[in-house]
Structure 1
């Protein structure tokens, strides 16, 4: 079992990655513009991989205790990015960035605040 300080460190790392993605994508108005800026898109994709890797390191009992967060779904998405990078749908990535990352960040921040 991981120590609470290690779990907190990993959760803070997740928040940091989400913040980086938000920073990299904030100037774009749509998926096409974002996708066509290779640096921003690739940097964001890397942070999505980092998020998936960090979740893989989290203690299973911790994840089971906090099942309201879709840990497995996020980890599976990391695998799609890592193994089918050229098949990634920019619109799907844009939707995740615009609609799913901020709520995820909020949920993780709540967990951190409780520690």
Structure 2
């Protein structure tokens, strides 16, 4: 399989962030903890974000002061169940940490789209 381009990865990350934000909108931690399907879906999407971030070029990552290592590390913890996919950690990430990443990806996508 061919490597994805930065543009494709950025679009994927944005789509995943928006999907997660939509899924958890208006949910409390208690509701999230009680909904196995929602918890699993959000954890899967967060892992996918980490995987896509891992594929981004160094040039894109250097454009933004984000905790790239931690974002990618979250993927590893979720995929390998290092913290039992602690619902509180997953929920807090889904409800509090995605906006800066999504905004950075949008800015990078805009910059890439301006290049010919």
| TM-score scaled by length of structure 1 | 0.83
- Structure 2 residue 74 is the aligned partner of structure 1 residue 112: no
The 8 Å contact of residues 32 and 90 in structure 1, kept in 2 or not, is answered as no
CA distance in 2, matches of 1:109, 1:45: 22
Q: Which residue of 2 aligns with 1:57?
A: 55
SS at match of 1:87: coil
- Structure 2 residue 83 is the aligned partner of structure 1 residue 89: no
The 8 Å contact of residues 24 and 95 in structure 2, kept in 1 or not, is answered as no
Please list, as runs of the form range in 1=range in 2, the aligned pairs for 1:4-83 lying within 5 A after superposition. Answer: 6-28=5-27, 30-63=28-61, 65-83=62-80
Cα RMSD (Å) of the superposition? Answer: 1.8
- Find runs of 4+ consecutive structure 1 residues off by over 4 angstroms: none
More helix by proportion, 1 or 2?
1
Shift of 1:54: 0.7
Shift of the 26–16 alpha-carbon distance from structure 1 to 2, 3 Å rule, reads same
Shift of the 85–35 alpha-carbon distance from structure 1 to 2, 3 Å rule, reads farther
